Structure 1
């Protein structure tokens, strides 16, 4: 005997209704985006558009004169400003590459069965929590060529320490080394999360096939932790391109202009009263970061899907 159950649907007040078989959503949730949209427009969109305009002017607080692309031409015609532009990319590539390599190595180490693993994790991550300015001032003292603890320690073993922050050929890379020390903890944390999320079945299958440590890394750990790699590359590259506080605290762009980056050049131009030129530098930095990060993010995401 067949029975037919009839279900009566009731629409509660405020619940979504159906029209023509489709789902009709209430308009009210859309208004929840309005406060965030207003804050985003006021704090980001409007200043960005104004920056593009003022980069085409020679302006002060009270006056402005439209001069077209003269600020950009001057920016790229002065060797000191161009040097800062080049240094920015060198600094970003060096720091992001080192963070990827060291972060992956430390991530593998700190997810293995080693003694004191919890303590070592805390030690590696601790520099991330310290202020960049504090780290810069501390290492400025430690890297002092005559009185610094680093060169004093090297002198004990008979090594003549270099002028870390006063040698034009070493200053930028010395700051990059400190940047890596401070930021590798975050990269390690991201890699640890990626490595522990790999299912154990992959490790077991590799071991059954007789895979050694290198084969396990090449065929299991590295490919399956690619989302972590893409995240570390993107965050480190953006941070390197926008770096300012650590460089300013340690060298202020010196000696001369040898460790200047775009952000420190912009700050110096503001200090000197060249507001239009410094605004043009901000626009150049914004365009450079956008032009690099957006294609890179898509490329890394595509590689992640292929893997």
Structure 2
């Protein structure tokens, strides 16, 4: 017949913690761990949150270094009435799509090559990454000389094989594309490194199983590398697109938005307004650029990463 333990017997037979101590209840942690967030939050607030809200406010004013006058939406009306704005918007989209697309394609191709069994693989990785370390202004000035239509080394090399080189930076139809190709040359090394990190993180057993099953290199790349390197692809697309939409320094050092407005982007239009002393107008342009980048990148990032954890 089953017997029922008394309360005293049950407490005596229950497990106890080491040294006979009663285990305390697990409650919510105290405030101590959250103090470690404070330095980062202060820095983030001072250098990002405060300037962002200040920019939104000053975009509604006519201001200089000492005074400001609230004028409502006049700066935005004037900015969107700018003749160069539509050209800048078009060039910004062309530049961002061109540079980000080429960085993804070329970066993936180079990463696939540099993770295979080739000679001097480590040296080649360093060579491809080296342009990332070079100053953007220095790269712009160097390629301005190389792309000179008359004395540039590129056109001279083309002339030596009987090809008449174009005006890379003087032809309105080629200027923005030429600068974009230089941007790709400079930034593809970073995309390649990100892709290499994504590819080497794929377990080697998958590729071995594919070889045993008789899969070709293209089939292994399409069925294994591309799907499993999706996080790296998402990172490269996001970073390249943000850089393309915000690009200014390379374009300004090579063409200053010329010839005419042919290679102007939104950032260069804003800078020209700053140079002319229209501080409130240029601040409104910065807000427009900020919103544009946010509206493009945030949904794209969500779409690229929505199936990552599945």
**Short-chain TM bin:** over 0.9
Could you list the structure 1 runs, at least 4 aligned residues long, displaced by more than 4 angstroms after superposition. Answer: 2-6
Q: How does 1:212-291 map to 2 (within 5 A)?
A: 212-291=216-295
Relative distance call for 1:27 and 1:301 in structure 2 (3 A) is same
Q: Deviations over 1:188-236 (max 9, x none)?
A: 0111111111111111221222211221111111001111100100110
- SS of alignment partner, residue 88 of structure 2: helix
Structure 1 residue runs of 5 or longer lacking an equivalent are 12-16
Residue in structure 1 matching 2:127, options 104, 113, 123: 123
Structure 2 residue runs of 5 or longer lacking an equivalent are 1-12
Q: How does 1:117-266 map to 2 (within 5 A)?
A: 117-266=121-270
- SS of alignment partner, residue 260 of structure 1: coil
Q: How does 1:88-127 map to 2 (within 5 A)?
A: 88-127=92-131
Indicate the residue corresponding to 1:14 in structure 2. Answer: none
- SS of alignment partner, residue 22 of structure 1: coil
Q: Distance in 1 between matches of 2:30 and 2:81?
A: 57
- SS of alignment partner, residue 57 of structure 2: helix
Q: Deviations over 1:252-275 (max 9, x none)?
A: 111111111111111110000011
> Is it true that 1:8 corresponds to 2:19 in the alignment?
yes
Q: Deviations over 1:33-76 (max 9, x none)?
A: 22221221111111111111111112222222222112112212
Indicate the residue corresponding to 1:46 in structure 2. Answer: 50
Q: Distance in 1 between matches of 2:66 and 2:15?
A: 80
Relative distance call for 1:10 and 1:112 in structure 2 (3 A) is same
- Structure 1 residue 101, shift from structure 2 partner: 0.1
Relative distance call for 1:28 and 1:303 in structure 2 (3 A) is closer
Residue in structure 1 matching 2:41, options 32, 37, 41: 37
- Structure 1 residue 9, shift from structure 2 partner: 6.8
Q: Distance in 2 between matches of 1:136 and 1:282?
A: 23
Q: How does 1:58-73 map to 2 (within 5 A)?
A: 58-73=62-77
Q: Distance in 1 between matches of 2:182 and 2:88?
A: 19
- Structure 1 residue 32, shift from structure 2 partner: 2.3
**TM-score of the aligned structures, taking structure 1 as reference length:** 0.92
Q: Distance in 2 between matches of 1:266 and 1:120?
A: 39
* Structure 1 range deviating more: 54-63 or 191-200: 54-63
* Structure 1 range deviating more: 55-64 or 150-159: 55-64
Equivalenced residue count is 298
Q: Deviations over 1:93-133 (max 9, x none)?
A: 11000000000000000111112212211111110010101
Q: Distance in 2 between matches of 1:56 and 1:163?
A: 42
Relative distance call for 1:263 and 1:6 in structure 2 (3 A) is closer
Relative distance call for 1:5 and 1:222 in structure 2 (3 A) is same
Q: Distance in 1 between matches of 2:37 and 2:21?
A: 29
The answer (yes or no) to whether the contact 1:195–1:221 under 8 Å persists in 2 is yes
> Is it true that 1:292 corresponds to 2:303 in the alignment?
no
What is the root-mean-square deviation of aligned Cα atoms in Å? 1.9
- SS of alignment partner, residue 62 of structure 2: strand
